[in-house]
Amino acid sequence: MPASNERVDPYLAFRFIVKIDNELYGGFSECSGLRLETETQDYVEGGLNTHVHKFPTRTKQSNITLKRGIVDRKLWDWYWKLVRGEIIRKTGSIQVMDASGGTAQMTFEFRRAFPVKWIGPDLNAAQNAIAVEQLELAHEWLEYVK
């Protein structure tokens, strides 16, 4: 824990690394969907009219969406295998790096992920934008490990 006079800044959200099966898949410009939600069950107790009891049931995770400039076919190939009926589940991590980019300050791990949506680039000859692909991953586990 820092001393009471030591300043602690929040983590920066723009410097992050995504690894899938311990392999870098190029630089991603956006990552969203790091979300867990626990459902609840209401229980109405007879004779108790002041409130309803709430109990946690199961926790579900949102799909993770990754966006990057197209640099190779790896993400497309992974999704295309799913389209052809070959489900390949992978493990990955999202590491939020320090300002220098050298040390991971926060790491999220996801497990048993597979692609469920691929979106290709918007093409427009009147602009000079980067061709961006988007991949959405369904997964069965999300853990904040560091």
Burial of residue 56 (CB within 10 Å: 0-12, 13-18, 19+) is exposed
- 3-class SS of residue 43: strand
pLDDT tens-place string over residues 99-116: 888 888 999 999 999 999
CATH number at residue 112: 2.30.110.20
- Residue 130 lies inside a defined structural domain of this protein: yes
- At 51, list the tokens: 């409130």
- Residue 11 lies inside a defined structural domain of this protein: no
54 residue type, one letter: K
The domain of 72 spans 16-32+44-144
pLDDT tens-place string over residues 49-84: 999 999 999 999 999 999 999 888 999 999 999 999
Q: Which of 9-13, 56-60, 85-89, 128-132 has the lowest mean pLDDT?
A: 9-13
What are the phi and psi torsion angles at 81 (to 5°)?
A: -65, -40
Torsion 99-101-106-109 (CA) sign:
positive
| 3 pLDDT more than 70 | no
- Residue 58 lies inside a defined structural domain of this protein: yes
What is d(CA 119, CA 115) in angstroms, rounded to the nearest whole number?
Answer: 11
Q: What is the pLDDT of residue 6?
A: 81
- Residue 98 lies inside a defined structural domain of this protein: yes
